[in-house]
Structure 1
Amino acid sequence: MDYERVLLVKPTVSVFLNIPSSGGGRGHRADHWDLTKPSWVGRIRLCTYGPKCVIKLEEKTSGELFAECPVDSYPSTTIDPVIDSSRYFVVKIVNGMEHAFVGMGFDDRADSFDLRVTLQEHFRQIQKELEIKQEEDCPIPSKDYSLKEGQSIRIEFKGFKKTTTDEDTTKQEPVKVGTAVKMSGGMILPPPTAKKITTPQQVQSQPKSIPAPLISSDNKTQAKPDEDPFQVDSGSAWVKF
């Protein structure tokens, strides 16, 4: 059993009976009706019973049903807007096996707009629920994106240079010592030539040597220009500490 759900209520709506035909299928025109003398004035309620939607025309005070219009979709021939106004419609009222097309309209354009939007939202929601149900009944099989045996994938990133391989390295000529290397940012000076540095521990571990006296032709002791400046004169020999 489906419960009644009220989507919209408007306190005033006018109904026009015995409206002229649409005139060759071009559409109904409200200016062909006597808008100053409606056949009936009451309230309108838009109700749903599950997926079904019904427009109910009721008495304002007693709530007695005057007529009802089942709506299967929107827009449809069940409720058709006129071509010369946004406030009036032609609706199909049903009483058992009998039906008739009557005019219906609002004094305020905002009431007409609310009715249109509510009908659109209702049937859009019905369509969405139907699509979800179809997906649950017939789920779409998921695709297999895994790599099969023997397959490989290659991804290239823009802005990254190609990595140099071992084969490319062997083809490059060796850089000579003392040669400036050209890089993307400019020239880079070669590193200084490595020199062997003697630490104080290595100096102390080396045996002290006392060289032979250096006697010049005039019997005076002279030191070589390249001797260590930390040598002292002992009279007949240079002693290295």
Structure 2
Amino acid sequence: MDFEEDIESILYIAREISVYRIPPLKANEGHRANEWGDLAKPLWKGRLRIIETSKGVSLQFEDAQTGELFAKAEYHPTRPSVEAVLDSSRYFVVRVEDDGKKAYIGIGFAERTDSFDFNVALQDYEKRYKASLSPPSTSSDSPSPHMPAGPKKDYSLKEGQTFSIAIPGRAKAALGGNLFGLETGSSESKAGSGGGGGGFPLLPPPPSASKRQ
């Protein structure tokens, strides 16, 4: 009897994740975790696994002890089912499907490192998927990078030969001068050139199971 087994590859595991019921998305606005109510009281807690098979990739929300499936979301790079919120790097919105019905849930990671690894896992899969759609070109019209394009020209200086570089506001400096010692700005201007980047607001992380009483 012919038997073919579909091999599963686990791309990512989050040991603990919180799931939230979220309000409808407002027109022309993104999702915000601070609008989900009390983040310390999630709808469900469990684990998340990103699994790849020959059919594609799926996000599976499972009971951490029994492995019972709570929800499942298919992930495809051309129609992503995961969206980051606008006010935190630890919370996301996921589109889940069940018997043709679609729903949106919020998910939260207790640690930023977990949400970072979650993002990286999805991005790595997306890169591999796009690379599989555009294999390297083997056209004979393209010149080989290993073949010389033509005779090489000699640009080296002959003995006793020099050339000059014109620097605005300064006298010409001959080659061999202190070109790398030229100042590019005062210490005050360099110190004031650094800018402060904005970051995500510090929303509270989902409650950890180890901290609950």
- TM-score normalized with structure 2 length: 0.62
Q: Secondary structure at the match of 1:116?
A: helix
Residue equivalent to 1:41 = 45
Counterpart Cα distance in 2 of 1:116 and 1:130: 22
For the structure 1 residues 158 and 43, does the alpha-carbon distance in structure 2 shift closer, same or farther, using more than 3 Å as the test?
closer
Whether contact under 8 Å (1:46, 1:53) holds in the other structure is yes
Question: What aligned pairs does 1:201-212 form with structure 2 within 5 A after superposition?
Answer: none
Between the two proteins, the alignment pairs up a number of residues equal to 149
Counterpart Cα distance in 1 of 2:143 and 2:11: 45
Residue equivalent to 1:25 = 28
Residue equivalent to 2:56 = 52
Residue equivalent to 1:157 = 154
Structure showing greater Rg:
1
Task: Please say if 1:62 is aligned against 2:61.
Answer: no
- Which amino acid is 2:74 matched to? P
- Which amino acid is 2:77 matched to? S
Higher relative contact order (CA 8 A, sep 6+): 2
Cα distance, 1:44 vs. partner? 0.4
Q: Secondary structure at the match of 1:21?
A: coil
Whether contact under 8 Å (1:51, 1:126) holds in the other structure is no
Unaligned runs of 5+ in 1: 146-152, 162-183, 185-241
Residue equivalent to 2:82 = 79
- Which amino acid is 2:154 matched to? F
Counterpart Cα distance in 2 of 1:122 and 1:59: 25
Provide Cα deviations, 1:101-139, integer angstroms capped at 9, x if missing partner: 11111111111111001110111122223222x74xxx3
Unaligned runs of 5+ in 2: 145-149, 161-213
For the structure 1 residues 102 and 142, does the alpha-carbon distance in structure 2 shift closer, same or farther, using more than 3 Å as the test?
same
- Which amino acid is 1:119 matched to? L
Moved over 2 A (4+): 141-145, 153-161
Among 11, 14, 20, the alignment partner of 2:15 is 11
Counterpart Cα distance in 2 of 1:29 and 1:73: 23
Q: Secondary structure at the match of 1:23?
A: coil
- Which amino acid is 1:49 matched to? T
For the structure 1 residues 157 and 68, does the alpha-carbon distance in structure 2 shift closer, same or farther, using more than 3 Å as the test?
same
For the structure 1 residues 158 and 12, does the alpha-carbon distance in structure 2 shift closer, same or farther, using more than 3 Å as the test?
closer
Among 98, 101, 104, the alignment partner of 2:101 is 98
Residue equivalent to 1:204 = none
Question: What aligned pairs does 1:84-163 form with structure 2 within 5 A after superposition?
Answer: 84-132=87-135, 135=137, 139-143=138-142, 156-158=153-155
